[in-house]
Amino acid sequence: MRIDHLSLEPGPIGGERALAVYRFGDPGARPKVHLQGGLHADEAPGMLVGFALRERLRRLEAEGRIRGEIVLIPVANPIGLDQGLIGGSLGRFEATTGQNFNRAFPEAARSALARDETKPEGDAVAALRRRMAVALDAMVPHTQIAALQRRLLRLAIDADIVVDMHCDSEAVTHVYCHSEQVERAETLGAAVGAEAVLHATLQGGSSFDEACTLPWIELRRRWPELDLPLACFAVTLEWRGMLDTDPDTADADAAALVAWLATQGVVAASTETGRDRSVAATPLAGVEVVHACRPGLFLASAAPGSRVTPGTVLGTLRTLPDGEDLPLRATTAGLLYAREQTRIVRRGAELFFIAGETPIREGLLLSAR
């Protein structure tokens, strides 16, 4: 295991920040895998799984069982970790700009094409990976969040596999992926015990996983005759909810992820520690988001993992200040995979998320929340 501490410039006044990056296997070996947790710095489960992965990968490397190259960043957001407000955490949004840390990542393909539009010769995938890396290296970030995003994307832009680990508020494990990569995402979902796999050709918002997959769509448009693959399999993996921080569960999650990496030729390890849960992908556009129609006390009754049908009562909103009880109902059939943890909510708050099979939404499918 090799450890790099990569500085983030510009840093805070009177100090600096750095990413701790753990590297396993031989540099340049394929497949290259990028794993990270804590991009939303108030989400502990992904960081816990990241540290559990570090220990498992350290042992595998000592036994000579790393076949590819693995880049692991258990704590991907030192900026967010530093933020707080009167005892609370502000790890999801950058305090100065209000920007979600997992939105508006740089567009690597567009930057690469602005520098070099010549048709690549030979191994087009390798050549275009190099061009995107050079373009990201040339960027001069002017804010701390831009420095963080450039650094993270630069580490991942030439990867074959990217897993960005998050969690939801209260949820079952679920996965977001590109629609072209559904079958592979279902395999990952089955291995880690996901109960939902949500796919879209465009989620919206330029999240980290899309910043790794969508460049290949852009490059295809530029050179359709090259028949470029979607050369990076990138997902957002949501490990349940904010309070699901049992260390034994995190270690089991890491074991399941290693078992899946074994099926991908990255490590020589048992595939038996995967969870083998059958999961069928559904469109992200088919997710029903149940909102609070008034401010009030959110009284949930349906738990994540529940199957619901139109009319199912999911909970009650006791309005404030008058105390009127309003039922919260599903209008679609599917899996209730996440719900809000906060129990005092504002008008418009997103309370429940139901994965349905029929598209019902258009446009921006990921909110800034």
Most distant pair of Cα atoms in the chain: their distance: 70
pLDDT, residue 368, reads: 58
Question: At what angle are helices 44-62 and 247-263 packed, to 10 degrees?
Answer: 60
Would you say how long the chain is, in residues? 369
pLDDT, residue 33, reads: 98
Strand residues in 83-173 grouped as ranges (E): 84-85, 88-89, 161-168, 170-171
DSSP string, 331-362: SS-EEEEEE---SEE-TT-EEEEEE-SS----
Residue 17 to residues 98, 167, 211, Cα–Cα distance (Å):
19, 24, 23
What is the rounded distance in angstroms from the CA atom of residue 231 to the CA atom of residue 218? 12
pLDDT, residue 254, reads: 97
pLDDT, residue 273, reads: 72
Amino acid at 8: L
Which residues of the chain are under the pLDDT cut of 70? 14, 368-369
Give the other-Cβ count within 10 Å of 320's Cβ: 14
Task: Answer whether 357's CB lies under 8 Å from 363's CB.
Answer: no
Look up tokens 């679920």; give the residue: 174
The alpha carbon of 200 is separated from its chain's Cα centroid by a whole number of angstroms, namely: 14
Alpha helix (H) ranges present in 162-306? 182-192, 208-222, 247-263
Task: Answer whether 355's CB lies under 8 Å from 334's CB.
Answer: yes
DSSP 3-state of 94? coil
Q: Which residues contact 65 (CB under 8 A, 6 or more apart)?
A: 267, 268, 269
Q: Domains plus CATH for the chain? A: 2-280 (3.40.630.10), 283-355 (2.40.50.100)
How many CA atoms, within 13 angstroms, populate the side-chain half-sphere of residue 356? 20
Closest residue by Cα to residue 164 from 36, 32, 256, 254: 36
pTM of the model: 0.96
What is the rounded distance in angstroms from the CA atom of residue 171 to the CA atom of residue 87? 25
